[in-house]
Amino acid sequence: MNKLLLFSVIISSVIGIISCTEEGVNNPIGNQPPNTGLFLFPDSTILPQQSRLRVHWWGDDPDGLIVGYYFSWDNILWEFTPSNDSLFALQIGANDTTFTFHVSAVDNGGNIVYDDRVFQNGIDFGPEPFVDENDNGVYDEGEFFYDIGLIDPTPAEFDFPLRNSAPTIEWNDLSFLPDTSFPVMSFSWVVEDIDGEESIVAINIAMNDTTNPANIIALDGGVRIVTLRTDDFSTSNPFMEILIEAQEGNIHPELLPGLVLDADNKFYVQAVDISGAKSKFIALPDSGESWYVKKPSGNLLIIDDYATNDNTAAFYTAMFDSLGLTGSYDVYDIHTQEPPFLNVTFLETIKLFDFLFWYTDNFPSLDLASFATQKYLTQGGKVAFSMQFPQSIDPLEVSSFIPIIPDSIDTRVSLLPGTEVVSDTTDPVYPNLETTSSIFRVKSFYLNPLVANPIYYYPNGELKGFTGFTNTGLTEFFIALPLHKCNGGAGNVKSLLEKIFFEDFGLSP
């Protein structure tokens, strides 16, 4: 290109620029509205989404900046946001639903004053959004506000098909059932919903029958554990109280029907979400298993805390039968019939009875005794222990349920057969005892004189302190020996049980 041609091109370009500038000055275009778009995902147009949905959008302004966006799900009510995305939780019905999302970008061409009404494109957007620093609900001078310019008159729109996902429910790993129990049991479950666990609005429970709406009780959607109980034995079909989260102070106002005493039973639970969608009912026990609910035979319960399989249970059964109590007491083997959520279920079970006899081997359920004994006594119950101990124990744990001085435990490796255990009282008299076989890891205690009455000790000084005692209210008896190994000599275990249960506790034979 020669110099003359190059000069001509430059002159022509300058003239063109000047011409355009003069045209722009003489014919101003004015502020142009912004444009809006949505980010779409590959499956959004073909697959239903869950009701918790994150939507992304963008805006572009040919002659300014984007200050925010107005969006709407119904094209009537519009909300402002300065963000390019948001997470929405959409309420849907039992069927799949399609929602249409609208969003319009807003540019920065405002009038620099706060407007209490924004009306554009035939839509009333309400007052300009602001930061309510004093929380009085109205705009005050000096508070930050979004100065709304032009709003895109052609909102970006997109249809989102939403799938109603029913919740799912399954049993908590700690929920199981023994094959037999008294009419007390705890249940716990796990609920999931892809729309969020907060969408669960109800938990339906039922006993034995889910076909009759009258048998179904609706609990709050946040409930995950219940303890059911009844002490009404005047009918074979009693209603059950529902302890929410196993709390005595949180009892559901409705009673659960459907229980059948002295029969197999089944418990059902179901989750319901905000849309009305329901999980299937799940049952415990599962098919092929049984849960027999037993009516108490009387007001006395023998707690078998003896893990060793020998003739110990037969000894105590014979002793209580010899007292004329045949058919009026129950035996609860807490090893073979251990319930779920042991502490609360065990406590509610023993509260069905006025009197307990709790015997153990050298590995007693100390944590259970520590948790339940004082609560049971406070409810008016009375308990007698024949308890052995392991080599080492926590004195504070033991002192939580028997009236001893915690740092006063004496220990001996073993006692020989024929060892005397002598009563320290004369009025009324507790019979002397004699060991019939070797007893290992024996312990004795010094007592809290304010709340304990001493009874049994070793006259030959085998151990210091006392091995048998009551509390001052005569509602608790304790002996740190296995009574089934203390029936030598005159065979006084029967006389001791008569003294404890008939005279001290007031049990009627």
**Would you state the pLDDT for residue 465?**
94
**Final residue belonging to a domain, choices 247, 275, 293:** 293
Report the alpha-carbon angle 336-342-346, nearest 5.
Answer: 85
The structure tokens listed for 451 are: 């709340």
pLDDT on residue 51 = 62
Residue of 274, 173, 275, 180 whose CA lies nearest to 224: 173
- CATH number (domain holding residue 343): 3.40.50.880
**Same domain for 271 and 232:** yes
Domain boundary at 252, 274, 293, which?
293
Measured distance CA(130)–CA(133) in Å, rounded = 9
The order of strands in the sheet holding 420-423 is 329-333, 300-305, 355-360, 382-386, 476-479, 468-471, 452-457, 420-423, 433-434
Query: Would you state the pLDDT for residue 166?
Result: 84
193 and 337 both lie in a single domain: no
Break the chain down into helix, strand, coil percent, rounded to 5: 15, 35, 50
pLDDT of residue 308: 80
Give the C-alpha separation, 440 to 389, whole Å: 9
Pairing assessment for the beta strands 476-479 and 468-471 based on DSSP bridges: antiparallel
Q: Which residues of the chain have pLDDT under 70?
A: 1-29, 39-52, 91-96, 164, 195, 427
CA distance 185 to 35: 63
Whether residues 478 and 376 share a domain: the answer is yes
pLDDT at position 483, please? 98
Q: Where among 274, 293, 312 does a domain terminate?
A: 293
> Residue 55: which CATH number?
2.60.40
Question: Exposed, middle or buried, 191 (CB in 10 Å: 0-12/13-18/19+)?
Answer: buried
Strands 329-333 and 300-305: parallel
Q: For residue 396, what pLDDT is reported?
A: 93
Element (H, E) at 356: strand 355-360
In a domain? residue 376? yes
Does 388 reside within a domain?
yes
Q: Quick count: other Cβ atoms within 10 Å of Cβ 3?
A: 7
Our count of domains for the chain comes to 3
- Report H helices in 252-385: 312-322, 342-350, 366-378
The reply to whether 367 and 289 lie within a common domain is no
Residue 8 located in a structural domain: no
479 domain-assigned: yes
**Cα separation, 134 vs 132, whole angstroms:** 6
Domain extent for 426: 300-504
Phi then psi dihedrals of residue 99, to 5 deg: -110, 140
Question: In this structure, are 49 and 174 located in the same domain?
Answer: no
Which pLDDT does position 287 carry in this prediction? 78
Cβ-based neighbours of 1, under 8 Å, separated by 6 or more:
9
In 93-148, beta strands by DSSP E: 97-107, 118-120, 123-126
